[in-house]
Amino acid sequence: MQYTTTPYQQKQFINEEGLCVTPLTSHLNNAMLLESYRAMVMIRTFDQRVVALQRTGQMGTYASCLGQEAIGAGIGLALGAEDVFLPYYRDQATQYLRGVPLEQQMQYWGGNEWGNHFTGVAAQDFPNCVPIATQVTHAAGVASAIKIRGEKRCALVTCGDGATSRGDFYEAMNLAGVWQLPMIMVVNNNQWAISVPRQIQTGATTIAQKAVAAGIEGFQVDGNDVCAVYDAVHYAVKKAHCGKGSTLIEAVSYRLGDHTTADDATRYRSHEEVNEAWKREPIKRLQTCLHQKGLWSENQEQALLSECKQEVEQSVQAYLKHEEQPVSDLFDYLFEETPSHLVTQKEHVLKKWSMLGGK
């Protein structure tokens, strides 16, 4: 069982012009294409609305997933209900497809940790991870437990290209290789680790080839092509379920927005580079493909846009009705017995908060 013989050649099914350049396999059927498109449009609508909320002071700092929709949708559709997902902070589409409501995602980005209290399929998933690459070591732990129990499941973890420079990434990948863990690492290579470009983060020609050192399979796919992402994850999941070990998937994309709403990418990126990247963006590409296959029309497009806008707006109104969480939550729930120095800090913060008129 092997996906490709080289980690250097990027796999693609639908090119930048929306043309099928590789025959679609049986699992890349019309239903999958249409479901992918709906999820991607929904998440872009959500993303734009959340950024607007942040700009008007109604949301905390937010990490936009603009341009990353194909990666999230491909993972969300290919990952099984029995598998464990360990996200980083740009996985809104995957979480949506695993049943995490948009309102709950807004709760998280609004500073309410109940947004990480998942139910349904996602109940076994991990919360959003903000520290860089620590979630990869968590995934190795989860995959170890799955293997020890002899379960037919896997752990899939995501991270950005910058995370692959961290020790946590290499340590977890080495463990995945030597123990043949049912673990999948999907690297969202969006070319920028905040303001640091991909070419000065690592000397490796591709991130996928880092898998070679760990003795696991690694390959690169076009991260703006939802079919390429879905196909790769589908393969890796089946492989993990069969006890054939780990896979590293490098999904090459581009971060079309700022790193977060606290960032200003115009300080370090040229307009020409961003404009060129827009020509490869994932949603327009899939839309063109659907039109060419006779699966989509302008009427369907308008109906979908209206549906997405309505669902997102209902979620926004529900989110805005949530009460602010008590400031004491910053200190509670971390330890079974709160250490004395944190008790002192808590008393100080609550007193100051009260003086400022907080409740």
What is residue 330's predicted lDDT score, i.e. its pLDDT? Answer: 84
Q: Of 161, 132, 136, whose CA–CA distance to 250 is shortest?
A: 161
Assess whether 65 and 50 both reside in one domain: yes
Catalytic-residue membership of 348: no
- Binned at pLDDT 50, 70 and 90, residue 7 comes out as low
| Residue 219 near residue 208 (C-beta atoms within 8 A) | yes
Assess whether 344 and 273 both reside in one domain: no
- CB neighbours of 93 closer than 8 A, spacing ≥ 6? 39, 40, 43, 65, 68, 69, 71, 72, 73, 75, 76
Summarised one tens digit per residue, pLDDT across range 143-199 is 999 999 999 999 999 999 999 999 999 999 999 999 999 999 999 999 999 999 999
The burial of 131, by beta-carbon neighbours within 10 Å (0-12 exposed, 13-18 middle, 19 or more buried), is given as exposed
Assess whether 353 and 320 both reside in one domain: no
**Which residue is catalytic, options 27, 268, 333, 348?**
268
Domain count, the chain: 2
Structure tokens at 178: 């030597």
Q: Of 347, 127, 158, 137, whose CA–CA distance to 236 is shortest?
A: 158
**Which residue is catalytic, options 255, 280, 285, 319?**
255
Q: Model-level pTM? A: 0.94
Structure tokens at 48: 């734009």
For the segment 117-136, the average pLDDT, to the nearest whole number, is 96
Instruction: Note whether residue 21 is domain-resident.
Output: no
Summarised one tens digit per residue, pLDDT across range 288-323 is 999 999 999 999 999 999 999 999 999 999 999 998
For the segment 206-221, the average pLDDT, to the nearest whole number, is 96
Catalytic-residue membership of 268: yes
Instruction: Note whether residue 153 is domain-resident.
Output: yes
CA distances from 298 to 4, 38, 294, 308 (A): 38, 14, 11, 15
Assess whether 81 and 198 both reside in one domain: yes
Instruction: Note whether residue 12 is domain-resident.
Output: no
- 115 vs 1: CA distance, rounded Å: 39
Instruction: Note whether residue 5 is domain-resident.
Output: no
**Which residue is catalytic, options 234, 259, 280, 285?**
259
Instruction: Note whether residue 314 is domain-resident.
Output: yes
What secondary structure letter does DSSP report for 127? P
Instruction: Note whether residue 36 is domain-resident.
Output: yes
| Domain coverage including residue 336 | 326-358
Residue 356 pLDDT exceeds 90: no
Residue 269 pLDDT exceeds 80: yes
Assess whether 238 and 338 both reside in one domain: no
- 293 vs 338: CA distance, rounded Å: 60
Tokens 């989509």 sit at which residue? 296
Instruction: Note whether residue 24 is domain-resident.
Output: no
Catalytic-residue membership of 259: yes
What is residue 1's predicted lDDT score, i.e. its pLDDT? Answer: 67
